[in-house]
Structure 1
Amino acid sequence: MKDTFKHKGMRQQLVETIVKKGIKDKAVLEAIGKIPRHLFMDSGFLDHAYVDKAFPIAADQTISQPYTVAFQTELLQIKPGDKVLEIGTGSGYQCAVLIELGAKVYSIERQQELFKKTSKFLPKIGYRAKKIIFGDGYKGLPKEAPFDSIIVTAGAPFVPKPLLSQLAIGGRLVIPVGDDVQIMTVFIRKGPKEFEKHEFGEFRFVPLLEDKN
């Protein structure tokens, strides 16, 4: 569990890569430059940690491409103290980025194996979410709502209504919508029943799993 000068140097190169791809938010870039992404991966794959690519982790899931993490985070427009719901804790990397930005993060993970691993791992390296919950992301977290923003880190075939209803007025939902290829979509809640929708190009995510029980 070491973070060396070499790792820090590799992170700075990663930051330069995502800047070239169009990420501008200084706080987001700082977070990516600070978080030891290699610790979120098995030690055999350290060479892949600071390459701008998604990479397989446990339970047939992936640790998202750093550019994608930065892109989604930039769209959220996080302010320190914001209450954020994350659907799909996964490796915990996106969660760490949100915490680094000063967000109070509630995160839901559908895969038991990842839930157990990540909920123990994040506090070990200094990232404490408000809550990490094992459950169905399609339902959100009504008892903690409303949220200043909600981020979905897996491809959703449709937009779950409970997530829209759990946004605060002025809140933002960032969600990749689609089956094989997803369109990065932002919904901004303008009123009790009024939402503004924006689309930001194509991405590929692992599918958002629904609780079949």
Structure 2
Amino acid sequence: MDEYLKARKYMVDNQLRTSGITDWRILLVMSDIPREDFVSDSASVVAYSDNHMPVAVGTGAKRYLAAAAPFAKLIQLAEIGPTDTVLDVGAVTGYSTAVIAGLAATVTGLEIDPAMVTAANAHLSTLGISNAKVIAGPLAEGVAGQGQYSVIVLEGVVAAVPQALLDQLADGGRLVALISNGGPAVAHIFVRSGSEVAGRAEFNANMPQLPIEVPEREFEF
């Protein structure tokens, strides 16, 4: 068996299943997507370690691919289904977008660094993923003008959820994010019902910080 395939199987069996990932669709997709393709060549040999992987693309702030287990727990919390349209905020080099594309109808990845956007779309194209794309723009603003999303995933820790992202949730839509104000980060899920959005805390988790600056009056829980 190819060494990367072995590492991927180990990741699924020893990082995901032991962290409470029970959604077979997530396990299947993450056993298929080559995580090593989304990191630098020098980091590919440790792409399946239980760590956040630095991404050496672009010229902005240092960015990471989140460790597999907290990422999987976050998307499991979102309960992404095959008819969902998803906004993936903080796509980096496209790994999260590629995984979500295997669960949803369509995915739009959002990334602030144009070099990472180029790399992400190249990775998606190489893998033949046709229901996903990554575009450039400020993460706090989302992607206006493309309709509303049934799921929005924030791929990292934020101090608060920007109102612009909550506004882009469709009725019944879910937004998942890790929120921290100096203490441990806590995964939250926000659900829109009509004009109201309600949020609840679910579990502690550790993921890289997202480069989002939010005004003090943004939605917190």
TM-score normalised by structure 1 residue count: 0.89
Code of the residue aligned with 2:39 in structure 1: it is M
**Residue 102 and residue 30 in structure 1: after superposition, are their counterparts in 2 closer, same or farther (change >3 A)?**
same
Cα displacement (A) at 1:179 = 4.2
Q: Deviation string for 1:147-184 (max 9, x for gaps)?
A: 11000012211111111111111111001112444221
Cα displacement (A) at 1:198 = 3.2
Q: Secondary structure at the match of 2:108?
A: strand
Code of the residue aligned with 2:19 in structure 1: it is K
Between 119-128 and 153-162, the greater mean CA deviation after superposition: 119-128
Query: What are the within-5 Å matches in structure 2 for residues 1-213 of structure 1?
Result: 5-17=2-14, 18-58=16-56, 59=58, 60-180=62-182, 181-210=184-213
Q: Secondary structure at the match of 1:155?
A: strand
C-alpha separation in 2, matches of 1:152 and 1:45: 24
The answer as to whether partners of 2:124 and 2:133 remain within 8 angstroms in 1 is no
Cα displacement (A) at 1:133 = 1.4
Which runs of 5 or more structure 2 residues have no equivalent in the other structure? 215-221
Q: Secondary structure at the match of 2:25?
A: helix
4+ runs deviating over 4 angstroms: none
Q: Secondary structure at the match of 1:34?
A: coil
Q: CA RMSD in A?
A: 1.9
C-alpha separation in 1, matches of 2:68 and 2:205: 16
Q: Which residue of 1 aligns with 2:217?
A: none
Q: Secondary structure at the match of 1:145?
A: coil
Cα displacement (A) at 1:210 = 4.2
The answer as to whether partners of 1:155 and 1:179 remain within 8 angstroms in 2 is no
Which runs of 5 or more structure 1 residues have no equivalent in the other structure? none
C-alpha separation in 1, matches of 2:134 and 2:197: 30
The answer as to whether partners of 2:175 and 2:191 remain within 8 angstroms in 1 is yes
Q: Deviation string for 1:41-74 (max 9, x for gaps)?
A: 2222232112121111124100110102211110
C-alpha separation in 2, matches of 1:65 and 1:101: 19
C-alpha separation in 2, matches of 1:84 and 1:65: 21
Q: Deviation string for 1:10-62 (max 9, x for gaps)?
A: 21111011101211111001111111111112222232112121111124100
Between 136-145 and 175-184, the greater mean CA deviation after superposition: 175-184
Q: Secondary structure at the match of 2:189?
A: strand
Between 149-158 and 192-201, the greater mean CA deviation after superposition: 192-201
Aligned length: 208
The answer as to whether partners of 2:190 and 2:197 remain within 8 angstroms in 1 is no
C-alpha separation in 2, matches of 1:130 and 1:37: 17
